[in-house]
Structure 1
């Protein structure tokens, strides 16, 4: 049941629909440019990504050691498995599964199995040439992430990722680093 509530919160937080003030604040200036990358290869995006930094959202409260696993499917979609360790539950594993469907260059529509009929936009704002580091955001600005193929990100790629968030109007002072070990 908790997974269903978390997934519903995730989708509500990422949608552009009206949300009560204070529940999911926007972390970006809506007047700033916002665009996904034009050259995006879903097959190269597939694999494991470690969450290095994020904007605080209720559905990830208490999450550490957050990861996303994307696997290419024959129909061109990506299966998605998001996991994290819950600090409040003594490191218990939280998991949610879904599908990411490409809908444009660098743009995915994500849905989760436990929350039928709801989808949310997931825009890849930047990925380095080697597909080692990625920056993801949502048009509403209510969520954003820095992802990396390894649990530790080199400083130069972290700086580049922060610059991408800043360019897209995100408030860098509200970005939180994510521990990759459950404590």
Structure 2
């Protein structure tokens, strides 16, 4: 009985933690535009996000995507936390959707999570990334500090996609 108790407690705690997370968009839209991966590659700056446990207290957040020889993408997420750099390396793969906007990302071996490019600028200067549950959201830009009009437009765009903009955490960038 004791051998079953610990896994049951861990599973219950995990489900409780997921249930406590705010859902910022209960009706996540399908990605709006086709994504050309070669144009999406490179370094992005995090303008804003829904706060999450793995980025808590992170500033100067970047995500860098590169092409791998096996057709997958390399993922390098970096941030500063308490004056120290933190890096997470992962891999992404396409899911086969017709727009190339739905990917899966893994930082933990065989476990993948959805990564949907919900919208993007025609020139790939910004993108809005989410996933089907509506609990996670990132607004990425190529510039560390986009101008005031772009910032306003991005927040309005997120709201138009059905997300609760009051949950946005604006990322400090150098």
TM-score in terms of structure 1 length: 0.79
What are the superposed Cα offsets for residues 32-83 of structure 1, whole Å, 9 maximum, x if unpaired? 4511133111111000000010111111101000000101223332100000
1:110 corresponds to = 105
- What are the residue-to-residue correspondences of 1:79-90 with 2, within 5 Å? 79-87=74-82
TM-score, normalization by structure 2: 0.83
* Unmatched 5+ stretches in structure 1: 1-12
Question: What is the aligned partner in structure 1 of residue 69 from structure 2?
Answer: 74
- 2:8 is matched with none
Structure (1 or 2) with the larger CA radius of gyration: 2
Relative to structure 1, the CA distance from residue 47 to residue 152 in structure 2 (aligned partners, 3 Å threshold; closer, same or farther) is same
2:159 aligned with 1:153? no
Structure 2 residue corresponding to 1:27, chosen from 14, 20, 24: 24
Q: Segments of 4+ in structure 1 off by > 3 A?
A: 17-20
* Cα pair 2:28 2:131 within 8 Å, conserved: no
SS at match of 1:119: strand
Equivalent residues, number: 158
Structure 2 residue ranges without an equivalent (≥5): 1-13
The 3-state SS of whatever aligns with 1:21 is helix
Equivalent-residue separation in structure 1 for 2:79 and 2:165 (angstroms)? 23
CA RMSD of aligned residues (A): 1.9
**Residues in 1 aligned to 2:16 and 2:114: alpha-carbon distance in whole angstroms:** 15
